[in-house]
Structure 1
Amino acid sequence: MPSTTRRNRRRDTPPPRTGSTESEVLRGFLDYLRSSIAAKVDGAPEPQARTAAVPSGTNLLGLLHHLTLVERSMFLGDDVTDWQATFRATPTDSVADVVARYRDAVERANDVLDGCTDLGAPVPRPRPDRPAPSIRWALTHMIEETGRHAGHADILRELIDSTTGR
């Protein structure tokens, strides 16, 4: 018996076929996950996008706001003093605002990464007084961080409007 609930299904894209170098593989997977979570939040209805659907208070807009600040901290050297606060977008932020800021942070992070040829080298920092992880570590961490929150976003978006897929 077919479900009476209409499901919004997006095409579920498989993992990327990247180049063969370690850098191409890591960056390919990171960009795949970045696109997935931005698409999951893009077009989500207000106010549901900022409404907590689980007891922890997690919501779609907060997840993408958090990832924006993680990207900026990791690759652009921005200082974050309260990571818990990064899970809350401001009341005046629209879905489009948060998605645009995330895409801008990703573009700026990729500009930094484009200049990095040695994965063992530290992430370039605008402030040399701050220690930096290796490019390899940063990419691997960002794949884990983005993938984890993309999974959260999958569930939250389906709860909001039944949208599934990447």
Structure 2
Amino acid sequence: MTTSPRPHRRRDAPPPRTGNTETEVLRGFLDYLRDSIAAKVEGAPEPGIRTAVVPSGTNLLGLLHHLTCVERALFLGARITDWKATFHTAPAQTATAVVARYRETVTEANEVLDTCTDLGAPLPRSRPDTPAPAVRWALTHMIEETGRHAGHADIIRELLDGATGR
């Protein structure tokens, strides 16, 4: 009797232990979610990583590309004119390149956040035509956005190759 291989099951990482300040808690949870979604994309099989498994067209690589664009818009002041397009990547873009760009963007966003000492102050941005949100709002929104899409990624990855866990 042969048995089928077991799907990869990652140990489920608990929420992070953070410092006690509001800034440490918000940034700790955001970084935890950022790492979680990047890990969901890393090692995912081609072409499944680009394959839509739901009618909306959502796929793993597109989710990470979208979050890269959100981070760039929110923390770095990038102008995004077509949000729907951010959920798709060009066929030539490798998963390794998309993950690397996401991680680079997170590093750049964290460099901006490192200069923000007042959570109630507006984010420093390079777009003078658009009012910047408060740092607290931006961090909370990015936690919500990343958490939402990390949940999508959990389900998509499990459907692709059975991999589970954070």
Tell me the TM-score normalised to structure 1 length. Answer: 0.96
Structure 2 residue runs of 5 or longer lacking an equivalent are: none
CA positional deviation for 1:6: 1.4
What is the total number of aligned residue pairs between the two structures? Answer: 164
- In the TM superposition, 1:1-166 aligns within 5 A as 4=4, 6-166=6-166
- Provide the secondary structure at the position in 2 that maps to 1:68: helix
Counterpart-to-counterpart distance in 1, 2:118 and 2:94 = 38
Code of the aligned partner of 1:24 = E
Counterpart-to-counterpart distance in 1, 2:151 and 2:127 = 33
CA positional deviation for 1:51: 0.4
1:46-90 Cα shifts (integer Å, max 9, x gaps)? 110000011111000000000000000000000000100000011
Counterpart-to-counterpart distance in 2, 1:12 and 1:118 = 33
Code of the aligned partner of 2:14 = P
Counterpart-to-counterpart distance in 1, 2:9 and 2:127 = 45
Structure 1 residue runs of 5 or longer lacking an equivalent are: none
1:92-128 Cα shifts (integer Å, max 9, x gaps)? 1111011000000000000000000000000101132
CA RMSD of aligned residues (A): 1.0
Identity, % of aligned pairs? 73
Counterpart-to-counterpart distance in 2, 1:28 and 1:6 = 32
